[in-house]
Structure 1
Amino acid sequence: MMVNDKHLPVTSGVHQVSVMSLSGPLDDDSCVQLMRKLRNGHGSRTERRGQPLILDMAEVPLIPPSLHRTLQRVIEQADTPVLVIAAPPRVRRALERSEITGIRQYRTLAEALTALSAPDLNSQTGAPPAFEQEEPEVLREQMLHIQTKATTSGMIGVAQGILLTRYGLPRPSIAHDLLEETSQHFNVPLRVLASAVITAPPPRSIDQWFFGHTTRPAPPTAAFLRGHRAKPSHRRQVLTAAISKAVTAADADAAELHLKDAAQDGALILEQHHGLDAAYRARAALIVGPPAVCARVQRQLEPVTVPDIATDAALPTHPVGRALLEAGTRAVHGLPLITPDGHCTGTLTVHRCQPGTWLSGFQQHTLGVLATEIASWNSWYHRTIIRDALEYLHRHRTHRPGTR
């Protein structure tokens, strides 16, 4: 369907490798797009030489012959192998039959990164090893980050497929450009817009996506928005103000804010944080169930306190719990974001480095009010800004060059 631009630099010392996640059935236009992104993202031809490239093809069901030519040009220009990871059997066999000089296939990113530090991989090209053995923690954090990005890439690919079919667009790149243009116009993250495209009911008419969308509800009058001068329509400002208020109100060492994503079966997505290290953020980026505290809160629909992570029944042996302990968190308190009509739209969690129950009654009340205000804002945001973005996308789908 498309090439998702997930060009993530992974560095070790003076060496660097680029990782790109591809998704959907690729076509000739996608291969041109891929080559253009590689040229723009890798610097000059001289800078690209010796810099390995890893292509994550876990979500690519098939590839055209033009991709073989594209990969061969990449290998020749970079003078280093291209490492393909997680390719489905059909794609893996196609690459094997292509006999492209310089293609290496691996099951996982970890295997590919390990291979890059082995001299025999680079002996054919003369390129130096890309990774040093003494930096496993850096690689672990990058791998977790890339895995999180891959999940997002798949959802964006699904949204593009919907637009491609619904509007009869001639090329996948047009669907990508339409999403990207709408995202930038309304300052809505591409992932959030993609989720809305996937979960919203189909447009009601040629001219309008939603009926009765002319009456816009007023934005919520939340105290935390006034205190930080955050514009209700500016998503990042609102989430930053919310997390700042939570840390102050709870006298917390760290905090995290998850919002529910209907496109991912109600999974909790880490939207904002304060004081959390990269390893924990990667683990908490997408939560689908307990024992994570935010998932317990979502399931119980009431506040949950864990006075000591280390003595909890399930967390110490779970990756999320271990990441919490490694980050220095010992106690957490989470509460649901429930709208006035009773829907849980996410969770708010505060952290302390010392074990024990620390929140006073007043602090718990203040956090409860904050959680309600965040939920009200989130509901308003989806009923106004997100709907405006979908209406814009729907109106402009016929104004794209090359569309019918």
Structure 2
Amino acid sequence: MTRESTVVPYGRKPAGPPTTTPQAAGNVEELRAEVERLRRQNADLQGRVRTHPAIAVAQGILIERYGLRELTEAFALMRHVSQRANIKLHQLADALSRVPGPDTGAHLWFPRRAPTLPPPLHGVDVEQGAGANQGAVLGAALRRVLTIAGTDMGNLQLADRSGLRMEKHTGHPKAFTDFFAFVDGSTTACSQAAADHEQVTVRDVATAEVFDEDSRRTILEAGSRACHSVPLIDGQSLRGVISSHHARPLAGFSRTQLRELQITGQAVARWLTWHRDTVVFDALEELHRLARAAV
């Protein structure tokens, strides 16, 4: 399914150009630069706030569960395993704190888990041999959605316990990717698609009521006048959102396009579930083995 956001008037044009002195214009530019610096600093701090506690909790679990001596030893083990498994450190840390631990004294964390092959990706063109690489698959998924949508600007977010985390993007300036590095509110098209489990079309960002003013301004300044968000749904579980952005207002998509976008979203969601249950769990098993050997 898909729906379009309703719209409300967005501002009014002034009666004529404002009159400013050179000194005032210079002050305005300085203020704009300072605001931009603070926005980027805030985005960086938000990333640290969301990521560092999860890693700290995972370090504590390793120390308590396996009797490791220091936090640095726990961190070194997680970093080693995340690099070998080609998954991000925060993803491994989140899984460590979320998945029930192994039985006391067990040699294997998941003794009855059977290996499975990755599900088909239906039109998502992944390089040969990269079918288990999350970065490669997500990059190909984003390209597929943008091809269907007819644009070269968009982004892919993964769902975690704090909201939507930016994982892939193309065509966006740094101000955009910093601002939307994490989305945990309800005032964006991607958050609406995530909450409702259906595609959302915004025909004109300048007039759509879904956005708060900071989000609207950031999107418009990035050169986007329209967007479309596709939720990645596996059954009833949200795995993420892929959004296309367009330089001009949208007339909408055909039924064929919407169907292809839905099929792609569902296929990518199933692959993400497989990746979690296979690649991430393999990494947890390796972490269990190394931690047992370290004490």
User: Which position in structure 2 is the counterpart of 1:320?
Assistant: 215
User: Which position in structure 2 is the counterpart of 1:275?
Assistant: 171
What CA deviation, in whole Å up to 9, does each residue of 1:248-291 have, x standing for no partner? 111024111111113x3xx1111111111111111211111311
User: Which position in structure 2 is the counterpart of 1:360?
Assistant: 254
CA distance change for structure 1 residues 133 and 291 in 2, over 3 Å: closer, same or farther? closer
What CA deviation, in whole Å up to 9, does each residue of 1:370-389 have, x standing for no partner? 10111011011001000000
Whole-angstrom distance in 2 between the partners of 1:179 and 1:232? 23
Whole-angstrom distance in 1 between the partners of 2:129 and 2:148? 18
Q: CA contact under 8 A between 1:231 and 1:238: conserved in structure 2?
A: yes
Q: CA contact under 8 A between 1:232 and 1:377: conserved in structure 2?
A: no
Matched, 1:342 2:250: no
**How many residues were matched structurally?**
264
CA distance change for structure 1 residues 273 and 224 in 2, over 3 Å: closer, same or farther? farther
Specify the structure having the higher radius of gyration (Cα): 1
What CA deviation, in whole Å up to 9, does each residue of 1:164-190 have, x standing for no partner? 222221111011001001101111111
Q: CA deviation at 1:358?
A: 3.3
SS at match of 1:173: helix
SS at match of 2:187: coil
Q: CA deviation at 1:312?
A: 1.6
CA distance change for structure 1 residues 181 and 245 in 2, over 3 Å: closer, same or farther? same
User: Which position in structure 2 is the counterpart of 1:304?
Assistant: 200
Q: CA contact under 8 A between 1:269 and 1:287: conserved in structure 2?
A: yes
Q: CA contact under 8 A between 1:163 and 1:175: conserved in structure 2?
A: yes
User: What letter matches 1:360 in structure 2?
Assistant: S
User: Which position in structure 1 is the counterpart of 2:155?
Assistant: 256
Whole-angstrom distance in 2 between the partners of 1:144 and 1:175? 29
Q: CA contact under 8 A between 2:116 and 2:278: conserved in structure 1?
A: yes
Q: Could you list the runs of 5+ residues in structure 1 that have no partner in the other structure?
A: 1-131
Counterpart mapping for 1:207-222 below 5 A: 207-213=107-113, 215-222=114-121
Root-mean-square deviation over aligned CA pairs: 2.1
Whole-angstrom distance in 2 between the partners of 1:222 and 1:356? 27
Whole-angstrom distance in 2 between the partners of 1:360 and 1:140? 41
Whole-angstrom distance in 2 between the partners of 1:378 and 1:326? 32
User: What letter matches 1:294 in structure 2?
Assistant: C
Q: CA contact under 8 A between 2:229 and 2:241: conserved in structure 1?
A: yes
Q: CA contact under 8 A between 2:225 and 2:246: conserved in structure 1?
A: yes
Whole-angstrom distance in 2 between the partners of 1:185 and 1:227? 21
CA distance change for structure 1 residues 366 and 229 in 2, over 3 Å: closer, same or farther? farther
Whole-angstrom distance in 1 between the partners of 2:210 and 2:122? 37
Q: Could you list the runs of 5+ residues in structure 2 that have no partner in the other structure?
A: 1-29
Q: CA contact under 8 A between 2:189 and 2:210: conserved in structure 1?
A: no
CA distance change for structure 1 residues 298 and 141 in 2, over 3 Å: closer, same or farther? same
Matched, 1:394 2:293: no
SS at match of 2:206: helix
User: What letter matches 1:146 in structure 2?
Assistant: D
Structure of greater relative contact order (alpha carbons < 8 Å, 6+ residues apart): 2
TM-score (norm 1): 0.61
User: Structure 2 residue aligned with 1:143, among 16, 23, 41?
Assistant: 41
User: Which position in structure 2 is the counterpart of 1:167?
Assistant: 66
User: Which position in structure 1 is the counterpart of 2:26?
Assistant: none
User: Which position in structure 2 is the counterpart of 1:330?
Assistant: 225
What CA deviation, in whole Å up to 9, does each residue of 1:80-104 have, x standing for no partner? xxxxxxxxxxxxxxxxxxxxxxxxx
Whole-angstrom distance in 2 between the partners of 1:349 and 1:310? 17
Q: CA contact under 8 A between 2:126 and 2:136: conserved in structure 1?
A: no
User: Which position in structure 2 is the counterpart of 1:54?
Assistant: none
Whole-angstrom distance in 2 between the partners of 1:236 and 1:332? 23
User: Structure 1 residue aligned with 2:54, among 147, 150, 155?
Assistant: 155
Q: CA contact under 8 A between 1:315 and 1:322: conserved in structure 2?
A: no
Whole-angstrom distance in 2 between the partners of 1:192 and 1:174? 18
What CA deviation, in whole Å up to 9, does each residue of 1:16-49 have, x standing for no partner? xxxxxxxxxxxxxxxxxxxxxxxxxxxxxxxxxx
Matched, 1:245 2:144: yes
CA distance change for structure 1 residues 322 and 152 in 2, over 3 Å: closer, same or farther? same
SS at match of 1:260: strand
Greater Cα offset, 350-359 or 233-242: 350-359
User: Which position in structure 2 is the counterpart of 1:41?
Assistant: none
CA distance change for structure 1 residues 248 and 137 in 2, over 3 Å: closer, same or farther? farther
SS at match of 2:117: coil
Q: CA contact under 8 A between 1:335 and 1:349: conserved in structure 2?
A: yes
User: What letter matches 2:227 in structure 1?
Assistant: V
SS at match of 2:248: coil
User: What letter matches 2:110 in structure 1?
Assistant: F
Whole-angstrom distance in 2 between the partners of 1:271 and 1:230? 21
Matched, 1:190 2:84: no
User: What letter matches 1:223 in structure 2?
Assistant: H
Give % identity: 31
